[in-house]
């Protein structure tokens, strides 16, 4: 079979033996995410035809206004994961606390917890800009047979067994890793099947795109300001091109294909940055490293940060390895100058 004609289901079965604890649960879990993604994709694609645009009038745990599709996507993913009885716990960016999941047949016997950002970039829905779903999977650390606890969710990113995202754009793609490279699958809407379209995805070692909300420039640390000036300077292969969509999934996806860096640093108005460590930064960092890229908070590796709370925020620098390293150089230089 032509590699690119392979379906996601066939790919999962073929590579199941790579999983450290190969017993079928992780494969079923990824299949459940695939199913929920197709349902959410259907709703996203008809957003302009029915009353699911705009805000619901509530805010989530981060104090952000919830969009109608945020709530819909959150409910669909949680419902699908619960119904399949393959996880023992779920944490969502849209929920205050983690969700305990009990199997009807084998209470708390499941091995995995899922952390999810159900609809990243949802504020872009009303203007028909690409949005996405981000997911992260860990093997529980508490004893099987006992209720899950916060300890199962507050694991460093290096413990992830799988992570990925779904991008709902001109075509719908599911991109994921289980620690053996990154592969992308495109949905054929006519038959509802994901096909392998982007095998062995790799970040270019460097690129010419930088992605950051420059409207916040005056609030950025000096190291970030200096790096932006470096990107804009006419020298060698610069200036770089500024491209910022405002949807992490979309910016990350473009930069992984074309080469670039995504930055959401801390600022004077967001002392820890905006992105959530568990729902956004850890899964994207895992994907970036598996694709030959790099992810840090400007100083240290994202995947080695020990989480302390469910909705913790961290600064995020992610993308082509050489570009992230150059940004880190500017951050380190400014940190040294402050110490002297």
Q: Which residues are annotated as a binding site for Mg(2+)?
A: 93, 117, 119-120, 280
Same domain, 23 and 116: yes
Question: What pLDDT band is residue 63 in, cutting at 50, 70 and 90?
Answer: low
Q: Indicate the number of domains in the chain.
A: 2
What rounded mean pLDDT belongs to the chain? 89
Average pLDDT in the 25-44 region?
A: 88
Question: What pLDDT band is residue 61 in, cutting at 50, 70 and 90?
Answer: low
In the predicted structure, residue 305 carries a pLDDT above the cut 70: yes
Same domain, 133 and 215: no
- Look at residue 206 and give its three-state secondary structure: coil
Specify if 60 maps to a domain. yes
CATH number reported for the structural domain that contains residue 275 in this entry: 3.40.190.80
Which of 165, 198, 231 marks a domain boundary? 198
Specify if 300 maps to a domain. yes
Containing structural domain, residue 266: 209-339
Which of 150, 171, 198 marks a domain boundary? 198
Same domain, 227 and 293: yes
Same domain, 173 and 46: yes
Specify if 45 maps to a domain. yes
For the chain, the 3-state helix, strand and coil shares in percent, each to the nearest 5, are: 35, 25, 40
Give helix 321-339 / helix 222-232 axis angle, nearest 10°: 140
Q: Which residues are annotated as a binding site for substrate?
A: 120-123, 213, 244, 274
Same domain, 169 and 213: no
Specify if 7 maps to a domain. yes
Q: How large is the C-alpha radius of gyration of the chain?
A: 20
Question: What pLDDT band is residue 27 in, cutting at 50, 70 and 90?
Answer: confident
Per-residue pLDDT tens over the stretch 113-144: 999 999 998 777 777 788 999 999 999 999 98
Same domain, 142 and 27: yes
Specify if 95 maps to a domain. yes
Specify if 276 maps to a domain. yes
CATH number reported for the structural domain that contains residue 56 in this entry: 3.30.540.10
Same domain, 138 and 224: no
Q: Please, are residues 228 and 210 in contact by the beta-carbon 8 Å criterion?
A: yes
Specify if 16 maps to a domain. yes
Q: Which residues are annotated as a binding site?
A: 93, 117, 119-123, 213, 244, 274, 280
- Look at residue 91 and give its three-state secondary structure: strand
Which of 175, 198, 221 marks a domain boundary? 198
95-109, 119-133, 191-205, range with the lowest pLDDT: 95-109
In the predicted structure, residue 263 carries a pLDDT above the cut 70: yes
Q: Whose CA is closest to 118, among 63, 66, 190?
A: 66
Same domain, 213 and 180: no
- Look at residue 35 and give its three-state secondary structure: helix
Average pLDDT in the 49-58 region?
A: 46
Q: Whose CA is closest to 306, among 282, 286, 331?
A: 282
Specify if 77 maps to a domain. yes
Same domain, 254 and 273: yes
Same domain, 172 and 61: yes
Pairing of strands 89-92, 112-120: parallel
pLDDT at 108: 67
In the predicted structure, residue 326 carries a pLDDT above the cut 80: yes
Same domain, 50 and 171: yes
Same domain, 28 and 158: yes
- Look at residue 182 and give its three-state secondary structure: strand
């Amino acid at each position: 079979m032509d590699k690119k004609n392979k379906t996601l289901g066939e790919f999962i079965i073929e590579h199941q033996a790579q999983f450290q604890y190969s017993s079928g649960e992780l494969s079923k879990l990824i299949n459940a995410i695939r199913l929920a993604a197709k349902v959410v994709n259907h709703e996203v694609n008809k957003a302009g035809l029915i009353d699911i645009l705009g805000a619901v009038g509530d805010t989530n745990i981060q104090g952000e206004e919830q969009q109608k599709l945020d709530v819909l996507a959150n409910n669909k993913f949680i419902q699908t994961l619960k119904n399949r009885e393959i996880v023992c716990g779920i944490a969502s960016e849209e929920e205050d606390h983690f969700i305990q999941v009990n199997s009807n047949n084998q209470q708390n016997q499941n091995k995995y917890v899922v952390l999810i950002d159900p609809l990243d970039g949802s504020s872009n829905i009303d203007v028909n800009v690409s949005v996405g779903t981000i997911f992260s999977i860990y093997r529980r650390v508490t004893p099987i047979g006992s209720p899950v606890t916060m300890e199962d969710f507050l694991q460093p990113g290096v413990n992830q067994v799988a992570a990925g995202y779904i991008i709902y754009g001109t075509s719908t793609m599911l991109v994921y890793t289980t620690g053996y490279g990154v592969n992308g699958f495109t949905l054929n809407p006519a038959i509802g099947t994901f096909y392998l379209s982007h095998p062995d995805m790799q970040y270019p070692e460097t690129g010419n795109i930088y992605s950051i909300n420059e409207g916040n420039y005056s609030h950025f640390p000096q190291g970030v300001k200096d790096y932006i000036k470096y990107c804009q300077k006419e020298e060698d292969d610069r200036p770089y091109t500024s491209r910022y969509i405002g949807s992490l999934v979309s910016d990350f996806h473009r930069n992984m294909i074309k080469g670039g860096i995504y930055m959401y640093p801390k600022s004077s108005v967001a002392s820890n940055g905006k992105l959530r460590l568990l729902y956004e930064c850890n899964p994207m960092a895992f994907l970036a490293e598996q694709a030959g890229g790099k992810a840090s908070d400007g100083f240290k590796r994202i995947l080695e940060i020990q989480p302390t709370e469910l909705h913790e925020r961290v600064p995020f620098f992610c993308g082509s390895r050489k570009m992230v390293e150059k940004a880190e150089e500017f951050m380190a230089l400014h940190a040294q100058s402050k110490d002297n």
